[in-house]
Amino acid sequence: MKNQRLSFPHFPCFNVSAILLLFSLMLSFSIVAFAGNLYDDLYRTWGEDRCKILNNGQLLTVTLDEVSGSGFESKDEYLYAKIEMDIKLVPGNSAGTVTAFYLSSKGQYHDEIDFEFLGNETGRPYTLHTNVFCQGTGNREMQFRLWFDPTADFHSYSILWTPKHIVFLVDGIPIREFENLERYGVPFPKNQRMKLYASLWNADDWATRGGLVKTDWSEGPFNAYFKKFNAENACVWSRGASSCRSNSKFSPFSNNAWLWDKLDYGAEGNMKWVQQKHMVYNYCTDTNRFPQGLPKECYLKNPKY
């Protein structure tokens, strides 16, 4: 994944007002081009009318009350993708609630790539929980405290899944990379197509301080908000094949160069900063949890968990 720099041509005969007008028009066009309709890409799957698409397809809300939570999923399935949405989390006392945003295949031996936002008591920060499953096995959790209030405004959350790695991003900043280390015997999700799923549900048996703090239903109903679904870079599965396949193989010379991008030095530095300053749990340092030895990837030279 390469950082791109915008460059603008020099027009010596333009005055400042003209340049500002040109920039405004360019920005307006990019916003219009980006803004899709959620009805085209997503559909509500459970919770009845607790999940709603509003504002002519520009906003989706999920609600949790004492009866049920709610959720939605993507219409398309993917075998590699970058999936992104803007999310605004449940404000106030959200203890016991979980807002989930993840890719998953189906079945007992499923693959899964998770963002889960664990609610907390008023004034305490959310815990951002990440995990990677392959063939039904996870246990690869990393947790973070965000460096902003995720309930005050929308922020962008992205999952980049390619043959080379899985990257979790927040506002475009990578916070975690799980590399494809199959050459060392580490499983990597690559064979099962996945859909995007998102939901808001009650998990007060474990979500907040290990289940010590229960959901206060007098604070409900609880609401989270989603907008700007983006799967521009995605290998859509259709009729038994991926849209990114060329001669039955993924090719780095196709129009899908994003599949082969690496994190550049700037992105590596940002990820290191996040992990040093904001990571609160790393499965690769939890020796008590793995008395028979840490997972294999944790022992590799210079691993990126």
CATH number of the domain that 108 lies in?
A: 2.60.120.200
Quick check: is 251 in a domain?
no
Average pLDDT taken over every residue of the chain: 87
Asked whether 227 and 70 are in contact (CB, 8 A), the reply is no
Give 19's pLDDT tier (boundaries 50, 70, 90).
very low
Q: Is residue 196 part of a domain?
A: yes
Segments forming the whole domain that contains residue 163: 38-238+257-301
pLDDT at position 305, please?
53
Catalytic residue IDs: 112, 116
Instruction: Please give the pLDDT value at position 208.
Output: 87
- Model's pTM, two decimal places? 0.85
Structure confidence by residue, pLDDT tens digits, 238-276 = 988 889 865 445 555 456 888 998 999 999 999 999 999
Total domain count, the chain? 1
| Residue 38, number of CB atoms within 10 A of its CB | 21
Report if residue 243 sits inside a domain.
no
- Can you tell me the distance from the alpha carbon of 175 to that of 124, in angstroms, rounded to the nearest whole number? 21
Residue 17 counted as domain residue: no
In a domain, residue 135? The reply is yes
> How many angstroms separate the CA atoms of 211 and 144, rounded?
18
pLDDT at residue 182 tops 90: yes
The answer as to whether 1 is a domain residue is no
Query: Is 22 inside any structural domain?
Result: no
